[in-house]
């Protein structure tokens, strides 16, 4: 029987600076579709108010990253937060990436705030191994680009990993919520282009550090597999 996955696009940046790359919802679908052959995937643009009328009709929901911040409210965000609360109450599988990771925490009573920029590749040290973390490895390096982070988790959430510059890069709630601060759906070339965009904000030292990091290995495919395993578990 075919199951249903919804991916909510939350990125508000629509200027086209990153053409010809697809939007984050398509990137996420491209990552997960080969790993979830039994799932029909629907894409929704949360920024324009395009949310499913019946979110609980979906077996799983993934929230993408965004240049927006949950601490700077925009009209489209509260309907998103309300759906997060509905999905949580129903124990529907819910995965958040970057902004999505922060939005889940914000909607359910945790705290998110500004942090030192992280751009490049960030290794997460896994501190709580889960059954869906297959194939297993104790450190997962992922591409990143963020100016805010989760600062405290809501009740009932478990911290699954850490990073020296990000105290809460990976979390779960029970068997139905998973959040990751970093980007398994990104590729090296995309982040390189992003660094060009934000270099003036980062300054020369952080920009050089980020470019150096891009010469390293990242585990986007592995984290994609872990997310698929989590959704199917």
Condensed to tens digits (0 to 9), the pLDDT of residues 43-75 reads 999 999 999 999 999 999 999 999 999 999 999
Mean pLDDT of the residues in the chain: 97
Lowest mean pLDDT among 7-16, 77-86, 138-147, 195-204: 195-204
Condensed to tens digits (0 to 9), the pLDDT of residues 183-192 reads 999 999 999 9
Give me the CATH code for the 3-112+148-185+220-232 domain, please.
3.40.50.880
Task: Give the pLDDT confidence score for residue 223 in this predicted structure.
Answer: 98
Task: Give the pLDDT confidence score for residue 68 in this predicted structure.
Answer: 97
Q: Binning pLDDT at 50, 70 and 90, where does residue 169 land?
A: very high
Considering the entire predicted model, what is its pTM?
0.97
3-state secondary structure of 144: strand
Q: Binning pLDDT at 50, 70 and 90, where does residue 6 land?
A: very high
Query: Which candidate, 134, 122, 133, places its Cα nearest to that of 98?
Result: 122
Sheet holding 177-180, edge to edge: 39-45, 3-9, 60-63, 93-97, 177-180, 166-173, 157-163, 111-126, 139-152
**Cα 40 to the chain's mean position, in Å?**
20
Condensed to tens digits (0 to 9), the pLDDT of residues 141-166 reads 999 999 999 999 999 999 999 999 99
3-state secondary structure of 9: strand
> Positive or negative CA dihedral for 113, 117, 119, 121?
negative
Q: Has residue 40 got a pLDDT over 90?
A: yes
Contact 141, 121 (CB under 8 A): yes
Query: Which candidate, 56, 60, 63, 10, places its Cα nearest to that of 40?
Result: 60
Q: Has residue 201 got a pLDDT over 90?
A: no
Q: Has residue 1 got a pLDDT over 90?
A: no
Task: Give the pLDDT confidence score for residue 146 in this predicted structure.
Answer: 94
Condensed to tens digits (0 to 9), the pLDDT of residues 8-20 reads 999 999 999 999 9
């Amino acid at each position: 029987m075919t199951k249903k996955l919804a991916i909510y696009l939350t990125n508000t940046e629509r200027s086209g600076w990153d053409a010809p790359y697809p939007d984050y919802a398509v990137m996420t679908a491209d990552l997960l579709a080969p790993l979830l052959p039994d799932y029909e995937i629907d894409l929704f643009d949360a920024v324009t108010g395009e949310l499913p009328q019946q979110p609980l009709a979906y077996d799983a929901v993934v929230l993408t990253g965004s240049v927006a911040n949950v601490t700077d409210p925009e009209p489209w965000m509260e309907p998103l937060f309300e759906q997060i609360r509905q999905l949580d109450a129903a124990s529907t599988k819910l995965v958040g990436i970057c902004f999505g990771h922060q939005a889940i925490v914000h909607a359910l009573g945790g705290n998110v705030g500004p942090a030192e920029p992280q751009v490049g590749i960030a290794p997460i040290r896994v501190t709580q191994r889960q059954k869906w973390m297959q194939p297993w490895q104790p450190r997962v390096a992922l591409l990143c680009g963020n100016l805010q982070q989760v600062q405290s988790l809501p009740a009932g959430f478990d911290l699954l990993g850490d990073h020296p510059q990000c105290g809460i890069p990976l979390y779960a709630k029970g068997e139905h919520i998973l959040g990751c601060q970093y980007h398994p759906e990104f590729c090296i070339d995309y982040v390189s282009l992003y660094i060009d965009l934000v270099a003036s904000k980062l300054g020369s030292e952080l920009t050089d550090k980020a470019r150096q990091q891009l010469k390293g290995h990242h585990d986007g495919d592995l984290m994609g597999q872990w997310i698929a395993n989590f959704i199917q578990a």
